[in-house]
């Protein structure tokens, strides 16, 4: 399986997975990058589209892609989509040419947000997590609660270390700037920030990133650690437990 990040808009990625014959895409907010790629790869058929949540920058290309390719669309059962969609919930499995996807409900950014995890043969697993987990950060709480998002991130953090985290946005540098403000003595974070700065200087994506790296550097996955929780509580005395600390951390990021 070959994994490609197709840039869209100013900072979105549409993830494309293919085996030289069949392709799937994830969260196609814009049809143009996908159709252009398909035109340059005439032997590859797009026959599956995965959607993590209902926001337009993740669904805007669905109608045109389905019209052109007749691809099957699968997405969150709790959210309305602009095309006919197979609704999925926690624990569902989806098979695509022998590759099995596990479905994880990860509410927080939206109430019905889902993520897809799969283990290609002889390759590291892939996680398509939409706007729930970003490298160095997490999604804003537009519909869900801090408790929901913390639970969602815990669910994703429990996946295997080598999982390739495929986020939907190139937010890494701004997220890491905040992470360093929260956790300035984290040496793995400082090293990773330099690696990512070099990648972006070369106009390369910072993604995908191993989940093990995120566990080491992402303050939203480390909100229970002494370094992060102390930093949050020094700023906000209302941060008394896991959920209120996480909520205060997310508010800090919103205002950063």
Q: Catalytic residue numbers?
A: 53, 55, 57-58, 109, 131, 169
> Under 8 Å CB-to-CB from 73, ≥6 apart: which residues?
49, 50, 51, 62, 66, 81, 83, 84, 85, 86
8 A C-beta contact, residue 25 and residue 43: no
Strand partners, 15: 5, 26
Whole-angstrom distance, CA of residue 119 vs CA of residue 99: 7
Identify the helix (H) or strand (E) that includes residue 175. helix 172-182
Whole-angstrom distance, CA of residue 131 vs CA of residue 138: 7
């Amino acid at each position: 399986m070959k994994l490609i990040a197709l840039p869209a808009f100013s900072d979105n990625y549409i993830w494309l997975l293919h085996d030289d014959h069949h392709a799937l895409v994830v969260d196609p907010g814009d049809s143009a990058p996908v159709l252009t790629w398909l035109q340059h790869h005439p032997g590859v058929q797009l026959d599956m589209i995965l959607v993590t949540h209902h926001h337009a920058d993740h669904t805007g290309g669905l109608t045109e892609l389905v019209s052109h390719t007749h691809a099957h669309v699968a997405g969150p059962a709790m959210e309305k989509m602009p095309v006919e969609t197979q609704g999925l919930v926690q624990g569902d499995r989806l098979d695509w040419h022998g590759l099995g996807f596990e479905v994880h409900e990860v509410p927080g950014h939206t109430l019905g947000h889902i993520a897809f995890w799969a283990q290609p043969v002889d390759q590291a697993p892939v996680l398509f997590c939409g706007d729930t987990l970003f490298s160095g950060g997490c999604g804003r709480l537009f519909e869900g609660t801090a408790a929901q998002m913390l639970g969602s991130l815990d669910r994703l953090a429990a996946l295997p270390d080598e999982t390739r985290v495929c986020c939907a946005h190139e937010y890494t540098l701004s997220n890491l700037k905040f992470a360093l403000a929260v956790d300035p003595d984290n040496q793995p974070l400082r090293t990773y920030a330099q690696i990512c700065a070099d990648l972006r200087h070369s106009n390369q994506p910072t993604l995908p990133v191993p989940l093990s790296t995120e566990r080491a550097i992402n303050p939203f996955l480390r909100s229970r650690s002494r370094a992060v929780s102390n930093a949050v509580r020094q700023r906000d005395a209302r941060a008394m437990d896991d959920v209120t600390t996480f909520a205060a951390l997310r508010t800090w990021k919103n205002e950063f």
